[in-house]
Amino acid sequence: MPLPPATRLGPYEILSAIGTGGMGEVYRARDTRLNRTVAIKVLPEHLSDNSQVRERFEREAKAIASLSHPHICLLYDVGQQDGIDYLVIEYLEGETLAHRLRKGPLPLEQVLQYSLEISDALDTAHRHGVIHRDLKPGNIMLTKSGSKLLDFGLAKVKMARAPAGTTALPTQTTPLTGEGTILGTLQYMAPEQLEGKEADPRTDIFAFGAVLYESATGRKAFEAKSQANLIAAILEHNPPPLSTVLRTTTPVLDRVLGKCLAKNPDDRWQTATDLRDELKWITEQGEQAATERVTGRRRYAGWLVAGILFCGLLAWTSVQLDRKRPPARAVRFSVFPVEKTSLVSTYTAGPTPQVAISPDGYQLAFVASYPGSSRLIWVRALDSAVAEPLRGTEGARFPFWSPDSHFIGFFAGESSRRLTPPEGPLSQLQMHQMGAAGHGLPTVP
């Protein structure tokens, strides 16, 4: 029977009821000595005569008292009066995660923050040999200072079988809650719990994964219309990956959840330490990624503007060049060797003269030679009938022009050469000298 307001339990005065469940009734109370508000958890009357339950109640209270962590609800006192066993714990103002999730999923930043805090709290509990065994949104309080892990009513230091008559819900009534030796709330229970096997820290990690999934999506990781189907879903199926439900998540978080919710405990995160460190890394990477996204957007905008300006400049240049480019003209001409010379041909594809037209379409280069003399490159303008030999091109073959039509390249011997100023057409005097030297090089008309 619930305790009415003003009831005294030692120095504590009951103010109002907070919640009730199979493993305890919770009240808001006042510590008359320190004049502070506390929460009192009372062992239900129908279990108070069970010596095993009372022993467990006290033993677990002592174990929880050893846990000092900013995200674990503090245990202040333990007592007994008129056959009533009670625990005095920290009174928290805020709302449970279960109540908050009625409004919808949490933002990803809060999901990561609360998950990091609770995983750190679990790490502390596990290091002290305490396994929660009933981790769920209803046992996580959201306060101004962060999240708090509540209700270690089903926690065990050593996994002994629970006394008959205990139910699965310590502080509030929820659908699909089993009774008997299976302890916990079905939606968050690991497969080994459902199979009646001994729980260990990895059991809490499975429940943590289910809570994380629900916090991020607003949906329970495992749902069904009956207990049998729900148990089958937990044992045989996996929830849809977060990345298929949310646009704001990352594949890294999918990996974390996948390892939390693995059916085989050996495939899960083996310690809450590893889980916490992974979540810490994701949180840090998320902040860095956010910074990089902002920087990346700015960089992208800068390159976009630069690209637009470049394209505009390119278009303007193209228009200007089109305006300056002379109109195309058809040119017809004939190439005849200079008197007493013969054109030098290549026979790779028949007797083809070695001729090259400049890219600007104004000049012609060809290879010709006098009988008994070295071949030279001759150049003539296409609008002229006069061709002039170029000095420095003795033995030249396969002439070609530079793209700007300013230079002539050619092959001589085993190397290639380029004719550059001051080399140029032979002067009339040089041509006469070459002819006088016996090269038979006449004056070009």
42-46, 227-231, 364-368, 420-424 — most confident range:
227-231
Q: Which long-range contacts (CB under 8 A, 24 or more apart) does 413-421 make?
A: 417/392, 419/377, 419/390, 419/392, 419/393
Residues 374-420: tens digit of each pLDDT? 788 888 888 777 888 888 888 888 888 888 888 888 887 767 777 76
Residue 83 has pLDDT above 50, yes or no: yes
Instruction: Please name every residue paired with 86 in a beta bridge, in sequence order, or none if there are none.
Output: 42, 79
Q: Which ranges in the chain are annotated with CATH 2.20.25?
A: 342-439
Q: Which CATH number fits domain 96-287: 1.10.40.50, 1.10.510.10, 1.10.3720.10, 1.10.260.30?
A: 1.10.510.10
Residue 233 C-beta-side C-alpha neighbours within 13 Å = 18
Q: Where are the beta strands (DSSP E) in 172-309?
A: none
> How many Å is the maximal CA-CA distance in the chain?
141
Q: Which CATH number fits domain 342-439: 2.20.25, 2.60.40, 3.40.50, 2.40.30?
A: 2.20.25
Which residues have C-beta within 8 Å of that of residue 248, sequence separation ≥ 6? 108
Q: Which ranges in the chain are annotated with CATH 3.30.200.20?
A: 1-91
CA 155 to each of CA 131, 263, 417: distance values in angstroms, whole numbers, following the listed order: 5, 22, 90
Closest C-alpha to 258, from 273, 243, 247, 280: 243
Average pLDDT on 332-342 reads 69
Which residues have C-beta within 8 Å of that of residue 121, sequence separation ≥ 6? 69, 71, 72, 149
Q: Which ranges in the chain are annotated with CATH 1.10.510.10?
A: 96-287
Average pLDDT on 338-345 reads 72
Q: What percent of the chain has pLDDT over 90?
A: 32
Please answer whether residues 203 and 195 qualify as being in contact, where contact means their C-beta atoms are separated by less than 8 angstroms: no
The residue with greater pLDDT, 45 or 13, is 13
- Domain 1-91 in CATH 3.90.1300.10? The answer is no
Residues 300-313: tens digit of each pLDDT? 556 666 677 777 77
Q: Is the dihedral of CA 321, 322, 323, 328 positive or negative?
A: positive
Which residues have C-beta within 8 Å of that of residue 382, sequence separation ≥ 6? 331, 333, 357, 361, 362, 363, 364
Which residues have C-beta within 8 Å of that of residue 434, sequence separation ≥ 6? 426, 441
Separation CA 422–CA 142 (nearest Å)? 88
90-94, 397-401, 430-434 — most confident range:
90-94
* 134 flagged as catalytic: yes
Lowest model confidence (mean pLDDT) among 2-11, 33-42, 325-334, 420-429: 420-429
Average pLDDT on 176-201 reads 75
**Which candidate in 31, 134, 151, 204 is catalytic?**
134
Q: What percent of the chain has pLDDT over 70?
A: 72
Residue 421 has pLDDT above 80, yes or no: no
Separation CA 271–CA 230 (nearest Å)? 26
Residues 200-221: tens digit of each pLDDT? 999 999 999 999 999 999 999 9
Separation CA 257–CA 263 (nearest Å)? 12
Average pLDDT on 160-164 reads 41
The residue with greater pLDDT, 72 or 177, is 72
